[in-house]
Amino acid sequence: MPTSQSTLVEIIGAIGRADFAAVTAKAVCELMDFELSAIVVHRGEAPPALLFENFDTVGCRQGIQNYVGFTHAANPLLERGPVAGAFRARDFQIRADRIAADARSYLVRSPDEELGFRTVGWPARLEEVGLYFPACGGMVELGLYRDRGRASVQHDALKDLEALSAPIAAAFDRSATLADATPPQRRTFHKSLTPREAEIADLLLIGCSSEAIELRLGISRHTVKDYRKQIYRKLGIGTLSELFALGAGSLAHSLPSRRRPL
């Protein structure tokens, strides 16, 4: 069974990797015994940035997209300025008079939900716990979700989760710094791929396994394999080593040429 220590070890081991957010979400979910998760960065007036979600596993990806795009503004923990800590949604209620006009059509009043409302497309009857901590130039919201058919998270467990916020925040900042230090590689073969295929091709080229891509993008392993087949077919290759060779050649062509001294 995961412990706070083993969870931190797993998170720290993923620092700087493309699947850092996915690994962190999975590790915290396993520690707290939750299934669904989402990581969102809130930066003042800027639109929220979604770092990870796995709502596609329950066919509710539109729900998290509606939250990030609209209904996050109704989150009681964000409406008066983000507050750090670990919280249960059941301890709060969304106030109808505080819902912004552009968010109202994306919220459904539901007394059966912990907050009294449910975002359109969101899975019904979930228990929700949120860990909020400052990192990545804003407030990171790490949301955990599961069916409400079991015992609710108790305050002692919340305190243990909150105790992890400082080292997790440091890991996020360190991982973001390492990611910013690595310039993006321009690859000419992207022209023949869709944006999603190009994204997956890049993840393969930096060493992500199908499982890591599944976690990072919130799609099934079967979907990842289908994308790999499409990428290989469009590029006229049959193996991962050929993709590496193609990527290396594409990058070399994108670099400025150097003349040898006479």
What tens digit of pLDDT does each residue of 205-261 get? 877 778 778 877 878 889 999 999 999 999 889 888 888 777 765 544 444 443 333
* Cα of 98 vs its chain's centroid, Å: 27
**Which of 19-28, 105-114, 166-175, 206-215 has the lowest average pLDDT?**
206-215
Residues 145 and 230 in one domain: no
Q: What CATH number did the domain enclosing 239 receive? A: 1.10.10.10
Residues 176 and 65 in one domain: yes
Q: What mean pLDDT do residues 2-31 have?
A: 92
The 10s digit of each residue's pLDDT in 31-75 is 999 999 999 999 988 899 999 999 989 999 999 999 999 999 899
Share of the chain above pLDDT 90, in %: 54
The answer as to whether 259 is a domain residue is no
* Domain limit, last residue, from 133, 163, 180: 180
Residues 176 and 192 in one domain: no
Looking at residue 240, its pLDDT comes to 84
pTM comes to 0.72
The answer as to whether 168 is a domain residue is yes
Query: How long, in residues, is the chain?
Result: 262
Q: Which residues of 35-63 are buried (b: 16+ CB within 10 A; e: fewer)?
A: ebbbbbbbeeeeebebbbbbbbeeebbeb
pLDDT band at residue 28 under the 50/70/90 scheme: very high
* Domain limit, last residue, from 146, 163, 180: 180
Contact between 34 and 129 (Cβ < 8 Å): yes
Can you give the residue range of the structural domain that contains 103?
Answer: 4-180
Looking at residue 256, its pLDDT comes to 45
Give dist(CA 212, CA 18) in Å, integer.
9
In eight-state DSSP terms, residue 191 is: G
Q: What CATH number did the domain enclosing 92 receive? A: 3.30.450.80
Contact between 89 and 128 (Cβ < 8 Å): yes
Of 195, 191, 189, 181, the C-alpha closest to 252 is 189
* Domain limit, last residue, from 114, 146, 180: 180
Give dist(CA 19, CA 215) in Å, integer.
7
